[in-house]
Amino acid sequence: MTLSDTPLLIRVAAEPARQEKVQRIDVDLVIVGAGMAGVCCAITAARAGLTVALAQDRPVPGGNASSEVRLWVLGATCHMGSNNRWAREGGVIDEILVENLYRNPEGNPLIFDTIVLEKIIEEPNITLLLNTSVFEAAKTPGDPDTLASVRGFCSQNSTFYELFAPLFCDASGDGILGFLCGAAFRMGAEAKEEFDEPYAPGKEFGGLLGDSIYFYSKDAHRPVKFVPPSFAMKNVPERIPRYRQFNAQSQGCRLWWIEYGGRLDTVHQAEQIKWELWKIVYGVWDYIKNSGQFPDAENLTLEWVGHIPGKRESRRFEGDYILTQKDIVHRPNHDDAVAFGGWSIDLHPADGVYSKLAGSHHLHSKGPYQIPYRCLYSRNVRNLFFAGRLISASHVAFGTIRVMGTGAHCGQAVALAAAICKREKCRPADVVEPARMRALQRDLMCSGQHLPGRRLEDPRDIARQAKITASSEFVLGHLPDNAGAHKLDRDAAQLIPVLPGAMPRVTLWLDVTEATELRIELRTTSRVDHHTPDVTLGSVTRRVAPGERIPLEVAFDVTIDQPRYVFLLLLKNPAVSVRCTERRITGLLTLVHSRDEKTSPVGGEDYEIWVPARRPNGHNFAMEVAGAISAWAPENLCNGVQRPTSGPNAWTADPDDARPSITLVWPALRRISRVELFFDVDYDHAMESCLMGHPERTVPFCAKAYRLTDRGGRLLAERADNHQARQTLNLDPSFQTDQLRLEILEMNSAVCCAAVMEIRCYE
C-alpha cells in the first residue's frame, strides 16, 4: 500500500463554547474619553463624591496632550499673544499644569503622562479602563431618550466591560458615545447666514480642520544617513507650497501646519489621513536630510514620529444653546456661565499642508468669553453630558473652544453638575434652574474655577463674618530702580490698578541716548472685564535730554470712575529706555505692543494686542506714585475672586515686612473644621505642558512656606515646600477658636512680596 492509498484520517477536537469575559461596573458617572477634558471631569467628579468609570481607547490618558501625540495644553492664556491677562484655567487643569511645571519644566511628554496618571489613580472613586474602546450603547427600556449603559472592549485583556450609570459624559473627541446613542450633532462649517457669522469659511477655504502628526529630531553628534521608506513623499518643493518654511531646527508642534484631512471624513477616513501624514512627514525629513539645502541637519537623526495624528475636528453635538461667533467677539453675559475660553477663533484651510493659504487664520476677542452650561449636555439624550472639543458650538466658535485647557474647564463644570444631578435626583437640563445654577457656579468657584464676571458668594464661609487684619499692606508708592532698563524698541506699558478718584501722578526714570521727544498715553478698557487698552484717557509729549536716570513726572487730569486697570503707555522710541525694578507684585505687569487686530475679519474696530514684556520674569517699571495706591488690602481676601481681574484681588504685604501675616477674629468661639487657602500661581503664565520649556520650577508669586495658628499660638497646620494654589487644611472637627493667624514664612522667590488671594473657613 502506497501512501496515496492510505485513508486520510482527520481528527477535530470538539470546539468549546466561547467564553467571553464580561465585567459589569456600576458607577454614578461614566466618562468616555480620557483626554484632558475627560481626565479633569473624572478627577473633579471623584473629589465631589461620585464614583466614576473612565474609559479610554488608548494606552495612556491625556489625548492630544499625551506622549502619543505631544501637543502642549493650550487655553485662554498662551505664548502666541492675546490680551487675556491672568486667564489660565483654574481647578484641576491648573493643578496638573502647576505640578508639571514643578516636576517637568523641560516639557518631557513622558513625564507629563506620569503626572496625569498619578492624579487619576490617586482618586479611589475612579475606575480607569485604558485600551478600552466603547462600541455599543443601550437605552433604558421604554425610554428611548435615556442612556442605560455602554459596552467597551479592552484589547489587552480580552475583556468586555458593561458600564452602567444614571449619568454619562462623552469626552471622546469624535463623540463616539453621542453618535452611538443618537445624540444630535453637526459636522463641518455652517454658512455665514445660519448664525450671522462673518468669519464662517467659504468652500475654497473649506469647512473642516485637518489632523497633524508631529516628529522629533535628535543630534547624534556624528553624521547620520537617512534612507527614506518607499512610501515617503517625493518632490516636497513641488507638492507643498509652504516648503520654504522647513528648516532643520523646527520639530514637534512647531510644525503643526503639516496638516491633512480637512476635505475628508475625519472620523471614518482617519486611517487614510494618518497614512498620508506619515508619507508627508517622512518625505519632509528626506528633504531636510538629503536635499543638500540643510547642511546643519548632517548630525540629526529622526528620534520620534507620532503613531496617531492629533485630531482637530470631527463631530460637534447640539445642546440647548449653540455657541457662535457673536458669543466670542461680543462676550455677552450668560446666566448659566460655567467656564470660559480665550483662544483665538483659529481656523485652518481644509487643504492643510497642500494649501497655498496661510496655515491658520486667527480672530481674537478683546478678552475671555463665557461658556454657558447649556452647551454641555445633549438636547435630545436626557442624561448625556459633553466635554472637550465636541460641545455645542458652531464651526466658527469651535475654532476657539477646541483647545485642551478650555475643554478641561468644561469637563470640570460637567463633573460638578453631575454631582448636583445625583444629589437632587435630576437630569442635566434641570441644573439650568436658577437655584441649582447658583449652586453649581458656587461649587466651581470654590474648587478654583474662575468664572468671568462672577464673584463667589458662599453663605457657608464664616471667614466673611470675621474681622480681618494684616501685619502690613503693600501700597504702590515706590518701586526701586534695581533691574536695569527696558529699551523702547516698541510701545511699552505699565499695567496699574487704580481706585475711583483723581489719577495720581507717576514718576518714571529714563535713560536717554540723544535729545528726543517721548509720547506718553494713559489708556484704559471699554469694559472692566478685559485688558485691551482701547480707550485713551489722555496723552502728553515731553522733550527729554540725553542722560541716565532722568526723572519724568507724568500727570493726567483724569478722574477714574471705578476700580480698574489703566495702562501707562510709552510710545516706541529707540533712544529711550525706561528703568525697571526687580520687585514683583501680584497684579502688576509690564506689557509691550505686539500687533494690531480687528474685531471682525470684514472690517470692524481696530485694536491692539499687548503681551508681557518679559516672560516669565514680568519686571515692572521703577516708579514713584504720588499719594500711593492702596489696592492690596486684606479685605480682598473675601471679595470672591481668586485672581487679578479689574484689580489685584489679593492681600499683599509690604516688602519690608519680615513676618507677614493675616489674622481673622470672630466675636465668639466658632467651630472650624476646614480652611481653604488660595495663593497666586501667576495665571498670566500659559504653562505649556510639553516641548515649550520653562526657566523655573515654581511660580515666584506663590507662598512656599506657611503656618496656621490659633489665638494661643497653637500650630494647626503648616507647609514648608508648597507650589500649588489651593491648600485645603482639614482640622479636628471639634476644634473651636475665635482667632486664626496665617503666617507666610517664605515665598518661592525673594523678589516677590507675600501674597494671598483668598481664605475661606467652614464649620
Q: Is the pLDDT reported for residue 20 higher than 70?
A: yes
Which of helix, strand or coil describes residue 349? coil
Contacts of 725 (CB under 8 A, 6+ apart): 90, 94, 95, 98, 448, 642, 678, 679, 680, 681, 702, 757
pLDDT digits (tens, 9 = 90+) for 88-132: 999 999 999 999 999 999 999 999 999 999 999 999 999 999 999
Q: Residue 78: which pLDDT band, with cuts at 50, 70 and 90?
A: confident
Q: CA torsion 691→692→696→701, rounded to 10°?
A: -130
Q: Measure the CA–CA gap between 85 and 72, rounded to whole angstroms.
A: 20
Q: Is the pLDDT reported for residue 638 higher than 60?
A: yes
Q: How many CA atoms lie within 13 A of 325 on its CB side?
A: 24
Q: Residue 605: which pLDDT band, with cuts at 50, 70 and 90?
A: confident
Q: What is the pLDDT of residue 603?
A: 55
Q: Is the pLDDT reported for residue 711 higher than 80?
A: yes
Report CA 135 to chain centroid distance, whole Å: 31
Contacts of 250 (CB under 8 A, 6+ apart): none
Helix-then-strand count for the chain, H and E: 11, 45
Q: Is the pLDDT reported for residue 2 higher than 90?
A: no
Q: 40: closest CA among 413, 318, 403? A: 413
Q: 568: closest CA among 595, 533, 607? A: 533
From residue 667, alpha-carbon distances to 463, 466, 664, 733 in Å are 12, 8, 10, 20
Residues facing 559 on adjacent strands = 502
Percent of all residues in the chain with a pLDDT value above 70, rounded to a whole number: 96
pLDDT digits (tens, 9 = 90+) for 286-323: 999 999 999 999 999 999 999 999 999 999 999 999 99
pLDDT digits (tens, 9 = 90+) for 238-280: 999 999 999 988 877 789 999 999 999 999 999 999 999 999 9
Residue 413: exposure state from Cβ atoms within 10 A (0-12, 13-18, ≥19): buried
Q: What is the pLDDT of residue 635?
A: 97
* β pairing state of 300-305 and 651-652: unpaired
Q: What is the pLDDT of residue 691?
A: 84
| pTM (two decimals) | 0.95
What mean pLDDT comes out for the span 486-490? 94
Q: Measure the CA–CA gap between 545 and 512, rounded to whole angstroms.
A: 7
Q: What is the pLDDT of residue 16?
A: 54
Residue 194, number of CB atoms within 10 A of its CB:
13
Q: Measure the CA–CA gap between 8 and 87, rounded to whole angstroms.
A: 78
pLDDT digits (tens, 9 = 90+) for 4-18: 444 444 444 555 556
Report CA 313 to chain centroid distance, whole Å: 19
Q: Could you tell me the three cell numbers for 147?
A: 442612556
CA-CA-CA-CA torsion sign (388, 419, 125, 179): negative
pLDDT digits (tens, 9 = 90+) for 123-149: 999 999 999 999 999 999 999 999 999
Contacts of 170 (CB under 8 A, 6+ apart): 32, 33, 176, 177, 178, 183, 317, 384, 385, 386, 387, 390
DSSP H or E segment with residue 415: helix 404-424
pLDDT digits (tens, 9 = 90+) for 390-430: 999 999 999 999 999 999 999 999 999 999 999 999 999 99
Q: What is the pLDDT of residue 140?
A: 96
Q: Is the pLDDT reported for residue 381 higher than 70?
A: yes
Q: 39: closest CA among 150, 113, 120, 133? A: 120
Q: How many residues does the chain have?
A: 763
Which of helix, strand or coil describes residue 354? helix
